[in-house]
Chains A and B, each alone.
Chain A
Amino acid sequence: MVLKRLARLLPLYKYQISGNSMTPALKNGQTIIVNRLSYLFNDPKKEDIIALKDPRDGKILIKRITKIAGREIFVQGDNKKASTDSRVFGMIDHNDIIGKVIF
């Protein structure tokens, strides 16, 4: 429990993917590392794969940035036929980004 709380302070988060909307880049069950500080000094870029909060219910999602308009970001799954993304919930705010998938 203590280790888990300490881990939350680290800049890196580990996630396991649930779902197929990011195939073939990321597969269901795959483990990834997300850097929460990636966008501290750099802006998000098109094509970055990011962890974000679903603006509807706060659930953590993994998607790719496909458009950027100021602080508003459009995200999509690579597997467009099976992805719930900005086409459904609209553009997300920069603040909804948790970090960039780095590994």
Chain B
Amino acid sequence: MKSFIALLSKTLPVQTAYAHCDLPCGVYDPAQARIEAESVMKIMEKYSGFHEDEQKWRAVFIKEQRAELVKHHLWVLWTDYFKPEHVEKFPQLHDLFWRATKAAGDTKKSVDPAVGQKLLDLIGEITDIFNKTKAK
């Protein structure tokens, strides 16, 4: 019997079965990154209307915090949610995350809303792919 199974083991086509681990909560959503990126964008839009140093300083400080949170949420998605089979299907995924996290870093150095919009656009592209991976 064992030799029969061993023979089958050699001849049968192999598929992948997962014995994996997600985050304990198993909840992932690019909305977390998008909401933080929208905060960054809003601060950029409002920045030119601030006249007092205290307001400007606070706006920049919060913008940096939010940009860091965007990076964090993107990294969690990139490293924990997306799997090799997703990269196979969407080969642009690694480059897209690399560009998005770079764009999040760029928003720390700028108050130009165009920079914030670029980040939101990249998160939008990630969201499209995320939604496709969820579609059955």
CB contact between A31 and one of B14, B26, B136 (< 8 Å): that residue:
B14
Docked complex Cα distance between A62 and B17 (Å): 6
On chain A, the residues within 8 Å of B25 by CB distance are: 88
- A37 contacts partner chain B, Cβ-Cβ < 8 Å: no
Q: A82: which B residues are within 8 A, CB to CB?
A: 21
Q: Name A88's contact: one of B2, B19, B24 (CB within 8 Å).
A: B24
| Interface size grouping (class) on chain B | 20 to 34
Within 8 A of B (CB), among A3-29: 3-4, 7, 10, 12-22, 26, 28
Interface residue? B9 (CB, 8 A): yes
Task: Indicate whether A16 sits within 8 Å of B18 (C-beta atoms), given known contacts A57-B136, A84-B26, A102-B5.
Answer: no
Q: Would you give the shortest CB distance from A94 to chain B, in whole angstroms?
A: 19
* Residues in A neighbouring B2, C-beta threshold 8 A: 103
Q: What is the interface of chain B, defined by CB distance below 8 A to chain A?
A: 2, 5, 8-9, 12-22, 24-26, 134, 136
